[in-house]
Structure 1
Amino acid sequence: MSMYGRNDNLELLKAWAGTSLAFAIYILQGQIFNSRFFYFLAIAALTCGIGFLLHELAHRVVARNFGAEAHFVAHNGWLLISIGIAFLGIFIAAPGAVWHRGYLTPRQGGLIALAGPVTNLVLAVGFLLMSMVVAPGDAIFGVRLLDLARIGYRINAWLGLFNMIPAGPFDGAKVLAWDWRVFAVTVGIALLLTFGIRV
């Protein structure tokens, strides 16, 4: 149980499911009765959903490695909002956050924040490499690997960049407060992946 009286692994799974559903609705422009809805829901779960899940787990792992108490708490309201506005063609991923407490140096706080976006950027590179080696007809359990690679690359590159916004509760604000050089390099890589490389 977390410090909030919740099982944060279940909280993560709930947020993963909600984020995956919102992204699938967004991909299909709200057409949930489309015959390919479950196809894109599977892709959403394996790209955006996994990207979110590993992002938050990275925060938690690094925080606990520094001796802090860290737990994920889902934000039910934002999960419902993200699902609702996906029908309008808008995708926002704000399903919750890892909360931690304990003494941390600015460097440790910066590294905890950096862990999430870097995870997304590493996933983006992985999906990019995947897109280069799979054939158009390759599939697993009916899911075309090229669809998986292309969507996984785009959403994880975007998630990495989005979370580096240097303001408010975003990871970028904490990274910038720690080391502007690390911030600049990370944002530069995220911009390159998001806008400089198309698959």
Structure 2
Amino acid sequence: MQIWEKIPIRERRDLLIAWLALSAAFTLAMVWGQRFDLLNIGLFFIISLITAGIAFIIHEMAHKFTAMKYGYWAEFQMNSMMLVVAVAMAALAGVVFAAPGATVIYGNSISREENGKISLAGPVSNLILIIPFAAMIFIGHSAGSGLLAIVGLVGVKVNAMIAAFNLLPVGPLDGAKILSWNPAVFIGVALVAFGILFGSLTGFF
């Protein structure tokens, strides 16, 4: 079965809607407080599609296909209310609270280790994505391309934010399941994610 065939039409629809909504939310957050400029908004929306959109899709697909590797069926299901909240908070306060939904795993016999590794796949995928975006910053500065450097910087920040947020050891977030499975792995990945996030927010990159 090809990868595309493992993503049902309903799941594709949910992924597309969540991708567009999250990109809109990040766009509103980036232009919040600035003078209305349609061209600027359009530019940041494209940047958000590339950075936040790809970060979200890869994160959820990492969960899905890791679960399928263990023999479970898994599908992303969007949360319409949380998508509305994300866009509204970005528009009103310039803050993105990104909880667009979750990848639901179908199976009653999933072990703590399997659940931990499936949960780990999402944040780790975002940490891996930081590498090409960090390269964009370097190439952009070297080639004198401010736009490429901006895309790279936004990509680093967004992926670090998504990884760090999902690693919080609370509720249904990935961090709680990883911690329950292997505290040492949780601490190591969390230190990397929050370290990169701190560096991206304090101008290290």
Structure 1 length-normalised TM? 0.90
Shift of 1:97: 0.6
Distance apart, 1:6 and its partner CA: 6.6
SS in 1 for 2:103: strand
Q: What amino acid is aligned across from residue 181 of structure 2 in structure 1?
A: W
SS in 2 for 1:104: coil
Three-state SS of the structure 1 residue aligned to 2:169 is coil
Q: Which runs of 4+ in 1 moved over 4 A?
A: none
Question: Matches of 1:9 and 1:52 in 2, distance apart?
Answer: 13
Of 105-114 and 6-15, more deviation after overlay is shown by: 6-15
Letter in 2 for 1:152: G
Say whether the 8 Å CA contact 1:25–1:32 is kept in structure 2: no
For the residue of structure 2 that corresponds to 1:134, the secondary structure is helix
**Any conservation in 1 of the 2:139–2:149 contact (CA below 8 Å)?**
no
After TM superposition, the structure 1 = structure 2 runs for residues 118-129 of structure 1, keeping only pairs within 5 Å, are: 118-129=124-135
Structure 2 distance, partners of 1:181, 1:192, is: 16
RMSD after superposition: 1.8
Partner secondary structure for residue 32 of structure 2: coil
What is the CA–CA distance in structure 2 between the aligned matches of 1:67 and 1:10, rounded to whole Å?
24
2 CA distance for matches of 1:137 and 1:96?
Answer: 38
Bigger proportion of residues as helix: 2
CA distance in 2, matches of 1:126, 1:157: 13
SS in 2 for 1:97: strand
Say if 2:110 is the partner of 1:107. Answer: no
**Which residue in 1 is equivalent to 2:3?**
none
What aligned pairs does 1:98-177 form with structure 2 within 5 A after superposition?
98-102=103-107, 103-135=109-141, 137-138=144-145, 144-177=147-180
Q: What is the aligned-residue identity percentage?
A: 35
Distance between the aligned counterparts of 1:101 and 1:158, measured in 2? 28
Q: Equivalent residues in 2 for 1:173-184 (5 A)?
A: 173-184=176-187
Give the length in aligned residue pairs: 191
User: Could you tell me which of 96, 109, 114 is aligned with 1:91?
Assistant: 96
TM-fit CA distance, 1:126: 2.2
What is the Cα deviation at residue 45 of structure 1?
A: 0.7
Q: In structure 2, the residue corresponding to 1:7 is in which secondary structure?
A: helix
Residue equivalent to 1:44:
48
Alpha-carbon distance in 1 for matches of 2:9, 2:36:
34
Q: Distance in 2 between matches of 1:55 and 1:45?
A: 14
Q: 2:131 and 2:35 mapped to 1: Cα distance?
A: 30
User: Could you tell me which residue of structure 2 aligns to residue 24 of structure 1?
Assistant: 27
Q: List runs of 5+ in structure 2 lacking aligned partners.
A: 1-7
Q: 1:30 to 1:83 in 2, by over 3 A?
A: farther
Tell me: CA distance 1:41–1:32, structure 2 relative to 1, closer, same or farther (3 Å). farther
How many angstroms does 1:31 deviate by? 5.4
Taking the aligned partners of 1:28 and 1:150, their CA distance within structure 2 comes to: 16
CA contact (8 A) 1:30 1:86 kept: no
Q: Alignment partner of 2:102: what SS?
A: strand
